[in-house]
Amino acid sequence: MFLSVFDVFKIGVGPSSSHTMGPMTAARRFLDLILSNDWPRPAGAQVTALKASLHGSLAYTGIGHGTGNAVIIGLMGEAPDTVDPDRMEDIIADVERTGRVTPPGHPGYRFLPREDLVYDKKTPLPGHANAMRLSAFDKDGRLLLTQVYFSIGGGFVVTETELAAMQRNKKAAATRNVPYPFASAREMLDMARASGLTIAQMKRANEEAVMSRDDLDAGLDRIWDAMSGCIDRGLRQDGRLPGGLNVRRRAKSIHDKLQEEWRSNRLNPVLANDWLSVYAMAVNEENAASGRVVTSPTNGAAGVVPATIRYYLHFHPEADQEGIRDYLLTAAAIGGIIKHNASISGAEVGCQGEVGSASAMAAAGLAAVMGGSPEQIENAAEIALEHHLGMTCDPVAGLVQVPCIERNALGAVKAVTAASLALKGDGEHFVPLDACIETMRQTGNDMNEKYKETSLGGLAVNVVEC
């Protein structure tokens, strides 16, 4: 499907795009459905109570990922991009105390989280690993309306019907009415060659087919402001992360040391790596604490892109706002191709689809702003993705903390290395990006479910929780 840069980069809250933002959005969509006339409402029937059940990966790691809380907040009518992260705890406490959700414009419904929110690990729903069912009842307990939603990664939510339509119309959706309808890296390179445009210019032309240049630029600047604000907040916070693992926040203390080193002019042979890591960790610590983040392309992988943009601003004297816009457009082009042809969901293909995709996007963005040709940019994305192939998703205790926080740091370092390697060549290389994406898809299909965001294998079962 044609993915706008604003589908790839979405402002929301942590800790997970698929397990927090998606379910919050699904709950809100269900509220809209209740008010609509899109269902056969029996005459005089009044919805008085709601229930939700989580299935597949949402059931297995939903507690650690805050899925239940996200459903409650969504049923209170809040959305990921506008909810105030500092108010979320109070909203949840209120619903638990009253046993009611009271979204604006609705009469209010019974919803007692400990009874009406079920983590159903026994019944996966066919269609996708991240599934949830929302149901509405009348005062006699009669089922009036039920809807299944799938959270397909990056905060995207679809119904069963929409998922089936997406699978049927894959090619058509990818080539929506835009001037450069590339659905693969090969097509992207062919169109760049034929048009003489850069990848960022083609992506800009596609976006400007549906919005003005001013709106596009303002939106891109808002995305970077949100990313940058997240880095800064993460660098200020201390203490332990919520969730019970007792993981210490480290970004602030590492940042303090780096600043001290910078002031004293001490030689640090891995200076750039340290700064990249601390920026990425700051974002992912904020994500783990349910702070405001931007999907890039997911929340779990939200640190890689912002870290590499901050690195670009910090270490490249020619960096400017136009460069950041080009970076985001290029990265979104690559993210869209990966999502269209494989997946960006840890529950579908493991962490190669999350941090691997983020690293590929970041490598492409960096290569673009460092003057790379379309071929060099495609090469940079391929190198970064290739060296994440096979990476599993095994978050300890179902929390987006270990290995996720450090993994973003390493994803950012690999992205810079990939961009640098690609820029030292002429763009000609052995493994095409499309082949690498297809390999990721196949590897994800073959991956045991234990390693796809269920916390039933890998580090999740080998690390003793203290």
Interaction site with ligand SF4 (CB under 6 A) = 300-301, 346, 351, 354-355, 393, 395, 400, 403-404, 407, 453
Cβ atoms within 10 A of the Cβ of 402, count? 20
Residue 196: exposure state from Cβ atoms within 10 A (0-12, 13-18, ≥19): exposed
Indicate the helix (H) or strand (E) that contains 442.
helix 433-446
The nearer residue to ligand SF4, 385 or 393, going by C-beta atoms, is 393
Q: Which amino acid, residue 248? A: R
Pairing label, strands 11-13, 292-294: antiparallel
For ligand SF4, give the closer residue by CB, 92 or 302.
302
Question: Residue with structure tokens 């835009």?
Answer: 178
Least distance to ligand SF4, CB of residue 280, Å: 11
Cis peptide before 403 (omega within 30 of 0): yes
Element (H, E) at 62: helix 62-65
Torsion of CA 176, 181, 183, 188, to 10 degrees: -170
> Is the Cβ of residue 231 or residue 329 nearer to ligand SF4 in the bound state?
231
Torsion sign across C-alpha atoms 339, 359, 367, 292 = positive
C-alpha torsion sign, points 332, 288, 450, 409: positive
Rounded to the nearest whole angstrom, what is the least distance from the CB of residue 23 to ligand SF4 in the complex? 15
Distances (CA, A) of 180 to 166, 198, 206, 340, 459: 20, 11, 6, 15, 42
Per DSSP (E only), the strands in 397-450 are: none
Residues 6+ apart with CB under 8 A from 353: 153, 338, 342, 343, 344, 345, 346, 440, 444
Nearer to ligand SF4, 351 or 418 (CB): 351
Q: How far is the CB of 356 from ligand SF4 (least distance, A)?
A: 9
Q: Which is nearer to ligand SF4, 71 or 405 (CB)?
A: 405
> Measured from the CB of residue 301, what is the shortest distance to ligand SF4 in angstroms?
6
Residue 56 or 346 having the CB closest to ligand SF4: 346
**Minimum CB distance to ligand SF4, residue 29 (Å):** 23
Nearer to ligand SF4, 64 or 336 (CB): 64
Least distance in Å: CB of 402 to ligand SF4?
8
CA-based nearest residue to 285, from 324, 223, 232 = 232
Q: Which is nearer to ligand SF4, 216 or 355 (CB)?
A: 355
> Nearest approach, Cβ of 346 to ligand SF4 (angstroms)?
3
Closest distance to ligand SF4 from the beta carbon of 359 (Å)? 11
Identify which of 448, 318, 390, 398 has the alpha carbon closest to the alpha carbon of residue 58.
398
Q: How far is the CB of 414 from ligand SF4 (least distance, A)?
A: 14
Residue 213 CB coordination number (10 Å): 10
User: Between 100 and 387, whose beta carbon lies closer to ligand SF4?
Assistant: 387
**In angstroms, rounded to a whole number, what is the distance separating the alpha carbons of residues 136 and 46?**
9
**Cβ nearer to ligand SF4, comparing 4 with 299:** 299
Q: How many residues does the chain have?
A: 466
Least spacing, CB of residue 404 vs ligand SF4, in Å: 3
Encoded amino acid at 213, one letter: R
Judged by beta carbon, residue 64 or residue 103, the one nearer ligand SF4 is 64
Minimum distance of ligand SF4 from residue 319's CB (angstroms): 27
**Angstrom distance (rounded) from CA 290 to CA 185:** 34
Q: What's the N-to-C CA distance of the chain in angstroms?
A: 44
Query: Amino acid identity, residue 63?
Result: I
Q: Which residue is nearest to ligand SF4 (CB)?
A: 300
